[in-house]
């Protein structure tokens, strides 16, 4: 069957780490895609959410549409990574052939989706967006972020990659969120040098660099810094 070009549509935000891991894997597998960025659209958040829920009942970015498979829609970034490797990674470049190694990739994907992403996401929320200033909640999620980083730091001490001495979607799934670690006061180079080395090895791969195109890295002011500049009144 002829493969349409671009092969996929990726619905995303320019600031969404969960979507850039999908872009990384598409790029690593040399699959073509058209990114559609919400933040360039001139519509309200409410309108956007209603429209987006038609694609993803959970209303979140990213969503991938496979035009060669009757516009098959997949959401949840790690489910998208699994779809891509199971469907298109026929040479097992990012997905091992052994079911035992696949189970190891899956366990890291689950830790990423249930631990790493949500924890950094919550730290970010309590640092930048919550309606009250709650430093204890911020600290709780920063500490949990560091706990998971400590797990990875130990695991990778004598290994280059998470599973079977080869880069897989498990490794790639952690990269884009850790590229934002600076937002939650984690200095990877100083505090987690092993993790830092692992991430740097991925960041220099040309396909990863290409997959990061279009990304906006933001650095807003923390809630408490904004309060200070408003003379102590944060609303
Ligand atoms: N577990 C989800 C997380 C998705 C998620 O939280 N996406 C964020 C952006 S990275 C989002 O869409 N937030 C809602 C919004 O910005 O409207 C995944 O990995 O796909």
What CATH number is associated with residue 205?
1.20.1050.10
What local confidence, expressed as pLDDT, does residue 1 receive? 67
pLDDT (tens digit, 9 = 90+) per residue, 70-111?
999 999 999 999 999 999 999 999 999 999 999 999 999 999
The residue among 67, 88, 109 that closes a domain is: 88
Decide: 176 in ligand 1 pocket, CB within 6 A: no
Is the CB of 16 inside a 6 Å radius of any atom of ligand 1? yes
- Note down the domain range covering 58: 8-88
203 and 126, same structural domain? Answer: yes
Task: Identify the residue with better confidence: 121 or 225.
Answer: 121
Asked if the structure places residue 225 within a domain, the reply is no
Return the minimum-mean-pLDDT range out of 40-44, 178-182, 198-202, 218-222: 40-44
Question: 223 lies in a domain?
Answer: no
Ligand 1 pocket, mutate which of 10, 16, 216 (most atoms under 8 A from CB): 16
Q: Are residues 84 and 103 in the same domain?
A: no
Task: Measure 67 CA to ligand 1 centroid, in angstroms.
Answer: 23
- What are the tens digits of pLDDT across the range 158-212? 999 999 999 999 999 999 999 999 999 999 999 999 999 999 999 999 999 999 9
Among 117, 148, 130, CA closest to 17: 117
- Domain presence at residue 218: no
pLDDT of residue 231: 65
Residues 115 and 40 in one domain: no
Cα gap 26→33, rounded to integer Å: 8
pLDDT > 70: what percent of the chain? 95
Instruction: Give domain status of residue 81, yes or no.
Output: yes
Residue 115 lies in a domain: yes
- Residue where a domain terminates, one of 88, 110, 143: 88
Q: Assess if residue 229 is contained within a domain.
A: no
Give the predicted TM-score (pTM) of the model. Answer: 0.94
218: confidence class by pLDDT, cuts 50, 70, 90: confident
Provide the domain count of the chain: 2
207 and 115 housed in the same domain: yes
**Domain endpoint, select from 35, 61, 88:** 88
Supply the CATH number for residue 59's domain. 3.40.30.10
Do 131 and 182 sit in the same domain of this protein?
A: yes
Task: Report if residue 226 sits inside a domain.
Answer: no
Mean pLDDT of the chain: 93
Domain match, 72 and 114 both: no
* Residue 221, domain member (yes or no): no
Q: Which of 52-61, 100-109, 136-145, 162-171 has the lowest mean pLDDT?
A: 52-61
């Amino acid at each position: 069957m002829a493969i349409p070009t671009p092969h996929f549509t990726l619905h995303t935000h320019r600031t969404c780490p969960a979507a850039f891991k999908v872009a990384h894997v598409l790029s690593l597998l040399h699959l073509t895609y058209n990114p559609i960025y919400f933040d360039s659209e001139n519509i309200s958040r409410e309108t956007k959410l209603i429209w987006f829920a038609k694609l993803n009942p959970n209303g979140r970015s990213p969503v991938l549409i496979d035009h060669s498979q009757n516009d098959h829609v997949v959401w949840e970034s790690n489910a998208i990574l699994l779809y891509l490797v199971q469907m298109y990674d026929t040479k097992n470049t990012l997905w091992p052939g052994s079911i035992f190694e696949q189970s190891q990739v899956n366990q890291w994907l689950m830790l990423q989706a249930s631990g790493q992403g949500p924890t950094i996401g919550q730290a970010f929320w309590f640092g930048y967006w919550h309606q009250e200033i709650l430093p204890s909640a911020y600290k709780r999620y920063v500490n949990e972020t560091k706990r998971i980083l400590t797990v990875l730091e130990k695991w990778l001490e004598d290994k280059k990659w998470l599973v079977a001495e080869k880069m897989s979607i498990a490794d790639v799934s952690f990269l884009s969120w850790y590229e934002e670690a600076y937002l939650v006061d984690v200095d990877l180079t100083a505090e987690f040098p092993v993790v830092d080395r692992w991430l740097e090895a991925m960041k220099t791969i040309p396909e990863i660099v290409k997959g990061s195109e279009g990304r906006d890295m933001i650095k807003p002011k923390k809630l408490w810094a904004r309060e200070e500049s408003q003379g102590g009144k944060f609303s």
